[in-house]
Amino acid sequence: MTGYVRWFSDIRIGDVGLVGGKNASLGELYGSLSQKGVRVPNGFALTAQAYRDALTAANAWEPLHALFDTLDKRDVALLAERAAKAREIVYKATDTAALREQVERAYRQLEKEYGANVAVAVRSSATAEDLPSASFAGQHESYLNVVGPADLFEACRRCFASIFTDRAISYRVDNGFDHFKVWLSVGVMKMVRADIGSSGVIFTLDTESGFRDVVFVTGVYGLGENIVQGVVDPDEFYVHKPTFKAGKRAVLSRTLGRKHLRMVYADQSGGTRNVPVPDPERERFCITDAEVLKLAADAIVIEEHYSANAGHPMPMDIEWAKDGDDGQLYIIQARPETVVSQRAPTHFDTYALGRSSAVLATGRAVGEKIAAGPVRIIAGARDLAQFKAGEVLVAEQTTPDWEPVMKIAAAIVTERGGRTCHAAIVARELGIPAVVGAAGAKGLLKTGAMVTVSCAEGEVGRVYEGALPIKKTQVDLSDVKRPRTEIMLNLGNPGLAFHSAMVPNDGVGLARMEFIISEHIKVHPMALVHPEKVVSAEARAQIDALVRTYAKPADYFIEKLSEGVGMIGAAFYPRPVIVRLSDFKTNEYAKLVGGEGFEPREENPMLGFRGAARYSHPAYAEGFALECAALKRVREDMGLTNVRIMVPFCRRVEEAERVLATMAAHGLKRGENGLEVYVMCEIPNNVILIDAFAKLFDGFSIGSNDLTQLTLGVDRDSEIVAFDFDERDPGMLEMFRLAIVGAKRNGRHIGICGEAPANYPEVARYLAGLGIDSISVNPSSILRTMQVVSEAEGANAKAAE
């Protein structure tokens, strides 16, 4: 059509100056990707020339200049007053007969395609030269469920006028745009009946970390404005791009949102309103897995198309809607993502104190960071409600129940525990400093007193009086020298996987399954296999609430565990991810929901019914079957064949044979589909009989915590003998040597996943000198470990010359 109307079929991405960024993108989608299966509703745009001609004909430019040429936007009242006058000028100016006639004619054409009184969405589309980096998203008005040519023309005029909303004016000033060099086009698109369906937003990266290998889909019931405005907590889904492209169609993870409101049409005359969503619908996902995968496929096609046009990777921000009438999924907008994708992981932070002060308490340092805040002493769970974000948590010890509070703490100080206690492990995962084993800390520190917790001064963690200046230094990742030895990560929290994967690394040397079970599943596996045997009424109620949407309770365990492992596997794909089978002690298993009745009481759980001993034992065999089912789903359905399996605390060769046979019976046969099975080398017998174990397993990972405990005869949970727990003992160094030499003699991979190399650089140097294949440490230690190992390799090379 000539004049001011351009149909989507005639618009392409290069037409930003003609119809603005949003409409140019819609035209690109409709015209170029429809044939690739991406459904886009038809529509048209009113060109920016319509806006300019109308204002010129009405002699509106001079009064508009008078309003804005001397405006100081910091004067909020004056800004609002002049913006309202400007909108009135534009609204009146765009009431032209030519424009009204062309809008009506185009609407009648849409009626021929979609039926009489077709409802349309009317959206503003700004034009500027560098729109990909300044999207103007949300700055101008949109109108939904507009019916009839008269109401449509009214909505178009209001869209034109919205070029002078208060927020749009401020946005242009902040981003250096001239008010009179940015114009508005208006897009008119057939409404998708999402009011009786669902809608949402897709990003072709993770919006928190910027990780590029996933599609992130969000969705709610009803029209999409609720999700765009943040009114409703949406359902969330992740799909892994590389395995999806390889033909594996699986949702990586899903999170159920509250979805308490649904935006629907107000009445036949147009407009919208919110209505409550019934509880049964809130407890279901708003779209099926198959629909998530269709949206992911569309998103990948769109991203590849835009990236090819741009000549570089172009992460996308996409809006979608499901029509409740025809059941089809439609893409209703796509634009380049302009925030997270601009953040590149180019540096790593190190910390130091600006000055010193009185030391109030000391213990073992965890985390290599420094933080300050007011003390909050927590005597027990009843005190947790008083805890405020940014406080320093001080307690005798911590438990998994405390983790919601630990996540908002500036730092953690415990009177008990060593570097492998709960507080230490969680602090590492969260990236906050912790001082553990700080005897008497509850008496030495006072609630409300400002302190600085420093874990950046070596082995000893110190709690200083007052809020001291903290120096943070950024290390340029381009300066990091990668050693020959593989430097891998220890990880347990799937929520940190995408972020952690973006620092230099060679994969995951230890993915702790038990953390996924305790934090994301929370229920004892046997309680899900045999819920009828759960005695506690409170536990039964908790289990019923968790599994209410699953066909059977065991399905809940398999899905949640496979999602947790899958997130870690996907984050590091195709690098290896070594997942350790569950290694709770009986006292830890008993603390899971419903677990008490399934676990024996042991005097020394550290040496009891743990690790490999459980997997084929009648007391846990059915629970182990669920672990195997989850891992099989990760490797086969999700296609994450980079996931390897590691057997912990395997005491004897016969025990190893039983475990491997049990795994094979559950579909995890070593060698099939490339499956590699490792074993923890953490019992002296693993070292003594390393030749025999090497015949059964593909590799070893030295667990220095347990190996030190059992070699030196030191209970690592006992503070009174903690001073004797030292991986640098000559006997321990000989154990490391025997393990590495033995593994290499048998052509097997050997690494270490304890914290010894991170805590003691001399241990890292020693292991590198022995030719260990990999060293696995927590994310906060990885760059320092790389530096130490690189230096050790260089020194060893010179010594050999």
Element housing 435 (H / E):
strand 434-436
Q: In terms of Cα–Cα distance, which of 566, 526, 528, 533 is closest to 547?
A: 528
Cα→Cα distances 645→605, 698, 750, Å: 24, 10, 14
Q: Token pair of 522, please?
A: 């929370």
Q: How does DSSP classify residue 7?
A: E
Report yes or no: 160 and 89 within 8 Å, Cβ to Cβ.
no
What is the spatial distance between Cα 456 and Cα 433, in angstroms, rounded to a whole number?
9
DSSP for 446-513? -TT-EEEEE--SSSEEEEEES---EEEEEEEGGGPPPPSSEEEEEE--GGGHHHHTTSS-S-EEEEEH
Report yes or no: 170 and 153 within 8 Å, Cβ to Cβ.
no
What is the spatial distance between Cα 535 and Cα 743, in angstroms, rounded to a whole number?
47
Catalytic residue among 240, 422, 499, 749: 422
Q: Token pair of 483, please?
A: 């050693």
286 given a catalytic annotation: no
Tokens 């503070």 found at: 719
Per-residue 3-state assignment (H helix, E strand, C coil) for 51-93: HHHHHHHCCCHHHHHHHHCCCCCCCHHHHHHHHHHHHHHHHHH
Pairing state of beta strands 508-512 and 434-436? unpaired
Tokens 């800004």 found at: 79
Tokens 């060679």 found at: 506
Report yes or no: 576 and 642 within 8 Å, Cβ to Cβ.
yes
Beta-carbon count within 10 A of 370 CB: 25
Tokens 């769970």 found at: 381
455 given a catalytic annotation: no
Residue ranges of E strands in 536-668:
577-580, 643-647
Q: In terms of Cα–Cα distance, which of 701, 705, 680 is closest to 421?
A: 705
Burial of residue 753 (number of CB atoms within 10 Å: 0-12, 13-18, 19+): buried
Residue ranges of E strands in 354-423:
359-366, 370-378, 392-395, 411-414
Residue ranges of E strands in 66-213:
119-127, 142-147, 183-190, 198-203
Residue 374, preceding peptide bond in cis (omega within 30° of 0): no
What is the spatial distance between Cα 50 and Cα 160, in angstroms, rounded to a whole number?
10
What amino acid occupies position 529?
A: V
What is the spatial distance between Cα 207 and Cα 339, in angstroms, rounded to a whole number?
9
Report yes or no: 499 and 569 within 8 Å, Cβ to Cβ.
no
Catalytic residue among 159, 421, 650, 753: 753
Element housing 750 (H / E):
strand 749-752
Looking at the annotation, which residues are catalytic?
422, 753
